[in-house]
Amino acid sequence: MPGGVRFDYRGARVLITGGSNGIGLACARAYAAAGAKVVITGRKAHADDYGHDLSEFDYRPLDVDSRDELLALAASLDGLDILVNNAGGTQDSEWDHDGFDKSIRVNLASAFHLSVACKPLLEASRFEGGASIIAIASMTAFFGSLWTPGYGPAKAGLVQMVKTLGHSWGGAGIRANAVAAGLTRTNLTAAAIDNLPGLKEQTLARQGLKRVGAVDDIAPAVLFLSSPAASWITGQTLNVDGGFTTGM
């Protein structure tokens, strides 16, 4: 874990959607290193289909655009302490009706359906500090974008969703928070960062910290919010963005 921060997740049961790559994989590795038992999902049929080692995790193929698959995944779990709703991404042609609708389903509706399906498991958790739902949001939740008319509103919906879940499910011992990531280099964003004219330059000009984020910048925030150290935090969104939201 960067910066020498150490968490103790021994015995914790964690589910991370989209944990096969990017921010999700960084979170999965961090939880596993802290002693957790981690289930990850991805779109490929087998863990061996990826170009990196996922053998330390329990891998489950999942199409988050399928409500049936989301419900089946929740039903297959023996127990759960932490749910990280990470899977998602921009869609082709979000200005078209079908692309917009799919972006809302993949980035927002899937997180809601899986959270509801996992609620009984989370209610039964005895993890210190309470069970947690963490959503991975984005700066597009707060600012307009030329390219993501579906993705941005979906991420804004996640910010609102954790407020509602945090308020509604606190009595059941379930906390809900989000991490809004700034411009972060992943397998999905690398091409845009390197090739989309002005994206990197304009973002860094606004940021206080003049570098693109790394996945290992995001994972510690996720682990903090689900830890006993954050046991009185719920319904909140933590911006991990190099200071982007504080600039003008």
Active site positions, annotated: 151
Q: What DSSP string runs through 150-200?
A: THHHHHHHHHHHHHHHHHHHGGGTEEEEEEEE-SEE-TTTHHHHHHSTTHH
Q: What is the CA angle 89-134-37, rounded to 5?
A: 100
Residue 229's CB is within 10 A of a number of other CB atoms, namely 12
Contacts of 107 (CB under 8 A, 6+ apart): 88, 89, 150, 151, 154, 155, 157, 158
For 52, half-sphere exposure in the C-beta direction (CA atoms, 13 angstrom radius) is 10
